[in-house]
A = this chain, B = another copy of it.
Amino acid sequence: MDTFFNPSSVAIIGATEKTGSLPGVILKNLLDMGFAGKIYPVNPKYENVFGLKCFPTLLDIPEKIDLAVIAIPASFVLEIMRQQAKRGIHYSIIISAGFREMGAEGIQMEEEVGKVAHENNIRIIGPNCLGILDNYANFTTSFLSWERITKPKKGALSILSQSGAFAISVLDLAAQEGIGIAKMANYGNRMDVGESDLLPFLMEDVHTKVVAIYMESVDHGRRFIEAAKACSREKPIVALKVGKGAAGIAAAKSHTGAIAGNYEIYKAAFLKAGIIEANGLEEFIDGVKALSMQSPPMGNRILIVTNGGGFGVIVADYCTENGLEVVPPSAQLKEKLKEKFAKFYVVNNPVDLTGSACDEDYRIVLQTCMVESDEYDAVIIIPLMSPKGMSETIVSVIDETMKESGKPAVVCTVGGVFTMKVKQLLEERHYPVFPSPERSAKAMSMLLKRRVLQMH
């Protein structure tokens, strides 16, 4: 699989400088990323493309080629596959749409391409996809311009996705949410390479610490479960299964030709394979964000600390709903806190520091309850930034105390520009911040789920 992510040499079929052409954009993106491997544009119309020597056909390239990237109309793909066979190019990413997802005619084309590939040991990603992003090898086959989406920083999350639009949006969201990306593979119609091939590869990949999968259907049921089981022993896997109800199943079929199948079977398989299932896009992003940034807690005793009482109440509700225990502090711990605080602060769980809170009040709570005491396994911190006592100092308060505690923290904060600034600073330090009480409780519960899976 490594050749798909980090080829020594790649041919771009149909490369051109014309705007709007897919192979042209792919070549340009690849150059912009600073890919260090050899690039061979292929197009009989040109001698040079973006300053690189251009070849009339694959057969005219004198050097060895690892990978061919095909983004020309579907009807020409079979011929390219035959040329690949002649040249002994064993890896191919077919970006082009117009295959299985189009019905009978498309299925036939896809099968013919598959036959040539199979007879000549050519592995294929696609068709009908964006292909690959490797953030460490600086390699991509994406045909979307980086002007429209924000390029994510290097990091620990790798994404497998049947849907291209979904993969791109997750990359864009990841950039927004401060989640670093290792690799992305989008395989669309998945005529060959799919989850079962890619999971073992990501399991071995040194950069990947968390795997996220968007799934309309699965490639090979049994192989997938085995691969996921092995991978999830090492690294958390979060999956979003779509195509659940009748309308969604029909939509998945039109989308990537996927047979979405019975959702209950998927649920059972995920459980068996140690996969954490997300309900919806936001839970998916929130879960991979929490797992990318924080370690799972050692138990389910959660402290809530806030200066917005109402938010404390909501988080407490959603903790209970999601299997987290909001246990009250012991009499001894309460006493210790009460000594340090104004009379009207509510010393309980949640700890409510009220509208009079300042950053250093948070330090007292976190130091006393998370560092000096063993009563809690993790903390949900809800610092509302609107009162005057609150400032950017909250970032170092959280960072210093939580590092000392060695326990995980999830932050919830709600608000506008100033709140967003604090969110960014916290996420740079790997504290995941969520914009609502329910999402912070759910993210914490996903961290706990990971711990439970690890214990099995």
B-binding residues in A (CB < 8 A): 20, 97-98, 101-102, 143-145, 148-150, 161-166, 168-169, 172-173, 175-176, 214, 216, 240, 242-248, 250-252, 254-256, 279-282, 304, 307-314, 316-321, 326, 328, 343-344, 346, 348-350, 352, 354-355, 384-388, 414-419, 435-439
Q: Bound complex: CA of A343 vs CA of B250, how far in Å?
A: 19
**Contact flag A149-B320 (CB < 8 Å), given A313-B243, A415-B169:** no
**A124 to nearest B CB, angstroms?**
19
Task: List 11 A-B pairs, Cβ < 8 Å.
Answer: A145-B388, A148-B385, A150-B417, A163-B309, A244-B320, A244-B321, A245-B317, A245-B321, A248-B317, A251-B352, A255-B352
Q: Inside 8 A of A314's CB, which chain B residues have their CB?
A: 240, 242, 248, 280-281
Q: Bound complex: CA of A297 vs CA of B143, how far in Å?
A: 38
User: By the criterion CB–CB under 8 Å, are A144 and B216 in contact?
Assistant: no
Q: Bound complex: CA of A416 vs CA of B308, how far in Å?
A: 29
**A185 to nearest B CB, angstroms?**
14
User: By the criterion CB–CB under 8 Å, are A437 and B326 in contact?
Assistant: no
Q: Inside 8 A of A436's CB, which chain B residues have their CB?
A: 280-282
User: By the criterion CB–CB under 8 Å, are B310 and A242 in contact?
Assistant: yes
Q: Inside 8 A of A385's CB, which chain B residues have their CB?
A: 148
**Number of chain copies forming the complex:** 2
**A98 to nearest B CB, angstroms?**
5
Please give me the residue from chain B that is nearest to A162 by CB atom: B310
Q: Bound complex: CA of A144 vs CA of B386, how far in Å?
A: 7
User: By the criterion CB–CB under 8 Å, are B280 and A438 in contact?
Assistant: yes
Q: Inside 8 A of A304's CB, which chain B residues have their CB?
A: 251
Q: Inside 8 A of A254's CB, which chain B residues have their CB?
A: 309, 346, 348, 350, 352
Identify A245's interface contact among B169, B280, B316, CB under 8 A: B316
Q: Bound complex: CA of A176 vs CA of B417, how far in Å?
A: 9
User: By the criterion CB–CB under 8 Å, are B318 and A280 in contact?
Assistant: yes
User: By the criterion CB–CB under 8 Å, are B165 and A256 in contact?
Assistant: no
User: By the criterion CB–CB under 8 Å, are A247 and B319 in contact?
Assistant: yes
User: By the criterion CB–CB under 8 Å, are B161 and A97 in contact?
Assistant: no
**Contact flag A310-B165 (CB < 8 Å), given A97-B344, A437-B281:** yes
**A214 to nearest B CB, angstroms?**
7
Q: Inside 8 A of A308's CB, which chain B residues have their CB?
A: 163, 165-166, 169
Q: Bound complex: CA of A438 vs CA of B281, how far in Å?
A: 7
User: Which 6 pairs between the two chains have the least Cβ-Cβ distance?
Assistant: A163-B310, A165-B308, A245-B320, A166-B310, A247-B326, A280-B438
Please give me the residue from chain B that is nearest to A243 by CB atom: B313
User: By the criterion CB–CB under 8 Å, are B416 and A176 in contact?
Assistant: yes
Q: Inside 8 A of A163's CB, which chain B residues have their CB?
A: 308-311, 313
Identify A320's interface contact among B246, B307, B312, B320, CB under 8 A: B246
Q: Bound complex: CA of A168 vs CA of B309, how far in Å?
A: 12
Q: Bound complex: CA of A162 vs CA of B314, how far in Å?
A: 13
Q: Inside 8 A of A242's CB, which chain B residues have their CB?
A: 310, 313-314, 317
Q: Bound complex: CA of A304 vs CA of B248, how far in Å?
A: 11
Please give me the residue from chain B that is nearest to A146 by CB atom: B386
Q: Bound complex: CA of A172 vs CA of B436, how far in Å?
A: 13
Please give me the residue from chain B that is nearest to A318 by CB atom: B280
Interface centre among A20, A166, A247, A281 (most CB of B within 10 A): A247
Q: Inside 8 A of A318's CB, which chain B residues have their CB?
A: 280
**A394 to nearest B CB, angstroms?**
13
Identify A414's interface contact among B252, B281, B350, CB under 8 A: B281
Q: Bound complex: CA of A14 vs CA of B166, how far in Å?
A: 57
Q: Inside 8 A of A417's CB, which chain B residues have their CB?
A: 150
